[in-house]
Amino acid sequence: MRTLAGALLFLGAFEAVAADASGFEIADASREAFSRLYAGVSPSIREQALRGRGLFRASWVIPPAADSDIVGLGPIYNQLSCLSCHPKNGRGKAPDTPEQAMRSMLVRLSAPGKGPHGGPLPVTAYGDQLNEQGIPGVPGEGRVSVSYSESEIKLAGGESVKLRMPAYRFTDLHYDPMPADALFSPRVGPPVFGMGLLEAVDEQTLIDLAGKAKPFGIQGRPNRVWDAEKRATVVGRFGLKANVATLKQQAAGAFIGDMGITSPLHPQENCTTVQVACRQAPTLQQPELNNERLESVLTYLRLLQVPARRRSDDPVVQTGEKIFAEIGCAVCHVPTLTTGDFPQMPVLAGQTIHPYSDLLLHDMGEGLADGRPDYEAGGRDWRTPPLWGIGLIEAINEHSQFLHDGRARNLTEAVLWHGGEAAASRQVFIDLPSAKREALLAFLRSL
């Protein structure tokens, strides 16, 4: 009862979120639900978004090539297309065995210390991300394989759940041994829909959320990151540690980091000083993605709609939604936010949205820690991931892996990995009677 009172105090009052099925929420539960574009824009903006869709779906080619629109892959890279890591605009997947390659996952790297603006320092020979692939004549940087060890957790009622802890092994490292003190953090490609709405939430809203008193010892704070375009420190909101300021910087960072595609924000190829073949590889044009085409990708991402809730009138789902609030999940996974002014795309302004995220950093405990700081995010901190659409991942992406590195094989495991600020809520989840736990999961699947 004390738990419930605390949650109600924080929320003001329990308010069930109903499916909107209009505007940026769309009542579509098909396998294309993450790929619907908001139609209430001018034909020219829609056309721009469709051009962006083409670039998002395109497989990039190595130079020289006749198709100048999509030339410039590499010299080192992880995948050929945006779609590789964000299949059907949804969630990537971790390999299940050491033999499987990372197809929609990558590993961030950094050296200890901070860069001039407070961000991570690259590893001298490998940069800030391990690029496994290289174009012909340019060796890839190396390979990562993942294996798992299992531990068991008993739930109230006698059920047991096995959690798998990943371990990573780097092989075929082609450019010097990796420094012993290098830091790394594996990342599965997250869903990309609804990102325009998250961008349109104004900074003050996030600061206010951080300043609000919270139950269960939960805190939450914004990451403050360098905005290279504004030349200023701002509140970060994209990236798994809220380590990127804007959607444009997130997209341009992925183009250069994942595919080696230069843009006005990253005009240099991602070769380190020791990667001679990479530095000498032929290029056709620079930047490979001009500002106009980068903007079209942004327009596409900004206009991607979010799936509306389903089965919100199901009593089991409604029970689960109440438990979600009662045990403190909704303190971080904030159900409702309102977007602010957004001159970059006014249709996104003033929208009531249901991301189930506060976009803030939370200490998630040692179990999920990557030990790799990123601006003001520490090694145990992660940004609350939005939960919208999470119930459709299994149907659309054909797996049910969650968390930043895909270690959780279902929603139960994902909840059980929560530690740190979420430890109390996790314990309540463990102690719940089975039926209530199932109701909570039914609610998550309705999102």
Partner 1 sequence: MRLAYVLIVALWSVVAQAKESLTVLTAYPEEVVSRFETAFEQAHPDIDVQILWRMPHDALPYLSQPEQGGVDVYWSATMRTFQALKRQGAWQKLVLADQGLPTHLGALPLADRDGFYRATEMAGYGFAVNPRYLKMHGLPLPGTWQDLADKRYQGHLALPVPSKVGFAPMMIDSVLQQYGWDQGWALLAEIVANARPVEAGSTFVTDILGAGERGIAPTIDFFTASAIANGAPLQFSYAQPVAYSPAHIAITRASKHSDAARQFLAFVLSEAGQKLLFHADIRKLPVRSDVYGAKPADYFDPFAASLAHPVIYDPETALPRLGLNNAVFDAMFTEHWPRVQALFDRLRQWEARGGDVAKAQRIRALLTGAPISAEQAHEQDLQALFAKRGGDANTEAKDRQWFEAMRKRYDEAEQLLNAAAQL
User: What 3-state class would DSSP assign to 436?
Assistant: helix
How many C-beta atoms lie closer than 10 Å to residue 2's C-beta?
A: 7
Residues sharing a CB contact under 8 Å with residue 292, sequence separation 6 or more, in sequence order? none
User: Is omega for the bond preceding 75 within 30 degrees of 0, making it cis?
Assistant: yes
Q: Report residue 112 CA to chain centroid gap.
A: 23
Spell out the alpha helix ranges (H) of 40-145: 43-57, 82-85
Query: Is 83 near partner 1 (CB under 8 A)?
Result: yes
DSSP label of 76 = E
Adjacent-strand bridge partners of 171: 143
Rg from Cα positions in the chain: 21
Q: Which of 62, 200, 278, 360 binds partner 1 (CB under 8 A)?
A: 62
Give the residue with the Cβ less far from partner 1, 60 or 324: 60
> Which segment (179-187, 198-206, 210-218, 257-265) binds partner 1 by CB under 8 A?
179-187
Give the x-and-dash track for 322-361 against partner 1 (CB under 8 A): ----------------------------------------
Give the residue with the Cβ less far from partner 1, 320 or 389: 389
Query: Is 81 near partner 1 (CB under 8 A)?
Result: yes
Q: Which of 57, 117, 154, 162 binds partner 1 (CB under 8 A)?
A: 57
> Which segment (47-55, 112-120, 274-282, 383-391) binds partner 1 by CB under 8 A?
47-55
Query: Is 278 near partner 1 (CB under 8 A)?
Result: no
- Helices 247-259 and 291-303, packing angle to 10 deg: 110
User: Least CB distance from residue 99 to partner 1, whole Å?
Assistant: 4
The CA-atom distances, in angstroms, between 219 and each of 184, 211, 364 are: 26, 9, 11
Query: Is 284 near partner 1 (CB under 8 A)?
Result: no
Q: What angle do CA 197, 198, 204 make, to 5 degrees?
A: 115
Q: Which of 167, 274, 276, 284 binds partner 1 (CB under 8 A)?
A: 167
Which residue type is seen at 373? P
User: What 3-state class would DSSP assign to 113?
Assistant: strand
The CA-atom distances, in angstroms, between 138 and each of 62, 75, 103 are: 12, 7, 20
Adjacent-strand bridge partners of 306: 25
Residues sharing a CB contact under 8 Å with residue 243, sequence separation 6 or more, in sequence order? 119, 223, 225, 236, 374, 375, 377
The encoded tokens of residue 376 equal: 């003001």
> Which segment (163-171, 227-235, 258-266, 337-345) binds partner 1 by CB under 8 A?
163-171
Residues within window 13-42 making contact with partner 1, judged by CB under 8 A: 28-33
Give the residue with the Cβ less far from partner 1, 65 or 349: 65
Query: Is 315 near partner 1 (CB under 8 A)?
Result: no
User: Least CB distance from residue 187 to partner 1, whole Å?
Assistant: 15
User: Least CB distance from residue 183 to partner 1, whole Å?
Assistant: 8
> Which segment (64-72, 192-200, 234-242, 281-289) binds partner 1 by CB under 8 A?
64-72
Query: Is 292 near partner 1 (CB under 8 A)?
Result: no
Which residue type is seen at 295? E
Query: Is 148 near partner 1 (CB under 8 A)?
Result: no
Give the x-and-dash track for 110-139 against partner 1 (CB under 8 A): -----------------------x--x---
How many C-beta atoms lie closer than 10 Å to residue 247's C-beta?
A: 21
Residues within window 373-432 making contact with partner 1, judged by CB under 8 A: none
Chain residues binding partner 1 by CB under 8 A are 28-33, 47, 50-51, 53-54, 57, 59-62, 65-67, 73, 80-81, 83-84, 87-88, 99-101, 103, 133, 136, 143, 149, 165, 167-173, 177-178, 180, 182, 184, 366-367, 369-371
